[in-house]
Structure 1
Amino acid sequence: MRRLTATSVIVLVTAAVSLAVTFFYGQNEAFMRAGFIPARASGIGTDFAAVPVWLTPLSSALLHAGVLHLGMNMLMLGYTGRDTEQAVGAKGIAILYLVGAYAAAFAQWLPDPQSITPMVGASGAASAVIGAYSLLFGRSRARDLGPIPAKAVHVLWLAAGWTAINLMIGYAFMGAGVAVAAAAHIGGFVAGLLLAKPLARWHFRIA
């Protein structure tokens, strides 16, 4: 029997928890109790939390605002995670996902530390995997830019492109009254860019 990959385990666990909350529990209450809330991370309004504040970047990744939100995140994670896991290993993909979740939460907290809007969804953590995938498997056409080597220019272009895309998406959805955690997506993606090569080297060194 073929063993499940770490990516598949993350997808299955996330889907199971998210669907259970969606169909059997009050979403709004779950979001307030287990979502990442910047104000709570700043020490404001911690009494209502069911999950310790320092764990909410992870618990929030298990919650989604409906089946479509869940499906989009898991599709992107499954697609990019499969190949990325081949390059960084099961431990590497777990590290990417965990660090990505915290990087996403920090990026969401940074512009508005007193926000009481809960952030939910695995897109920030998945963005770290997407960032690593983009760097490891994307074709680079970058050249040296003065003293900046081509490899660094490539990373900067990827970060700039992802940032621009997410800011435009966030702005577009804002007009429709839908909140998108664009900062979290950017924070997770940057974490993936920074971790991709070190994790790949570590994986092949211990393989």
Structure 2
Amino acid sequence: MTLPQGRLTQALLWVTALAYVALWALGKADAAAYLGGFIPGRVSGFVNLTGAVPAWLTPLSATLLHGGVAHLGFNLLMLAFCGRFVESVVGAGPFAFLYVVGAYASAGAQYFAGPFAPEPMIGASGAISAVLGAYALLFSRQQVRAIGPLSSTTVRVLWLAAAWILVQALFALATAGSQMHIAVAAHIGGFIAGLLLARPLLLWRYRSA
């Protein structure tokens, strides 16, 4: 299979990887997680940090921070594959919009799941979940029928959202009690944002063409 080029996707891959390497080389990865990660407690005023990235920017800065090579590698793999396909369909500008909105949607979902949590949320998986949501909707080949007043597209969105929520719930159960912390709410928030934005972004591209 030949992947589309996806120049913006390529740029995101390089920037994300280089950010990790730079922080690791400087020995600043742990400090950066608190200074640049998304901390719900900061938004609620429960946590105060000196010298940190402004709280409203942390949903974006958090996408450049990862907890290890495995965390980084999995995210880059998902972005490299799905991102190129989605970018090839919607275009670079709408794709950038999708990625940014996904980052904020995932942070918002994580905030509502625990508004006073003091732990930082790091990683690009929330933003990438939005890309996955758009990919799932745009490239799904399964035939779905309308149900009553619900169009086939609406039914497809609901089924994909339900399936993703189930997958994330299973991940949460599988890692319960372990040292692995998965931002389940963030993944769900990002994915749903991708589902909702996929077709409007596609329409945006063709109206701008």
The normalised TM-score by structure 1 is 0.95
CA contact (8 A) 1:32 1:49 kept: no
CA contact (8 A) 2:6 2:87 kept: no
1:118 counterpart (95, 117, 120): 120
Give the match's secondary structure for 1:98: helix
The normalised TM-score by structure 2 is 0.94
Shift in Å, 1:49 = 4.8
1:62 counterpart (48, 64, 73): 64
CA contact (8 A) 2:6 2:85 kept: no
Give the match's secondary structure for 2:122: coil
1:41 aligns with 2:38: no
Structure 2: runs of 5 or more not aligned? none
Shift in Å, 1:175 = 3.1
1:168 counterpart (167, 170, 193): 170
Shift in Å, 1:145 = 1.6
Aligned 1:123-202 pairs, distance under 5 A? 123-202=125-204
Could you list the per-position Cα deviations for residues 92-121 of structure 1 after superposition, in whole angstroms to 9, with x for gaps in the alignment?
Answer: 110010000000000001021000011000
CA contact (8 A) 1:35 1:57 kept: yes
Please tell me the residue identity of whatever aligns with 2:28.
G
Could you list the per-position Cα deviations for residues 13-39 of structure 1 after superposition, in whole angstroms to 9, with x for gaps in the alignment?
Answer: 011002211232332211111100000
CA contact (8 A) 2:82 2:135 kept: yes
Give the match's secondary structure for 2:143: coil
Distance 1:185 1:43 in 2: 24
Distance 1:47 1:69 in 2: 25
Shift in Å, 1:150 = 1.5
Give the match's secondary structure for 1:110: helix
CA contact (8 A) 2:40 2:110 kept: yes
Shift in Å, 1:4 = 6.6
Distance 2:160 2:6 in 1: 30
Q: CA 1:44/1:171 → structure 2, altered by over 3 Å: closer, same or farther?
A: same
The answer to which of 145-154 and 124-133 deviates more is 145-154
Shift in Å, 1:67 = 1.0
1:10 counterpart (2, 9, 12): 12
Structure 1: runs of 5 or more not aligned? none
> May I ask how many residue pairs the two structures share in their alignment?
205
Identity among equivalent positions (%) equals: 49
Distance 1:68 1:107 in 2: 24
Distance 2:60 2:51 in 1: 14
Shift in Å, 1:55 = 0.2
Shift in Å, 1:46 = 2.6
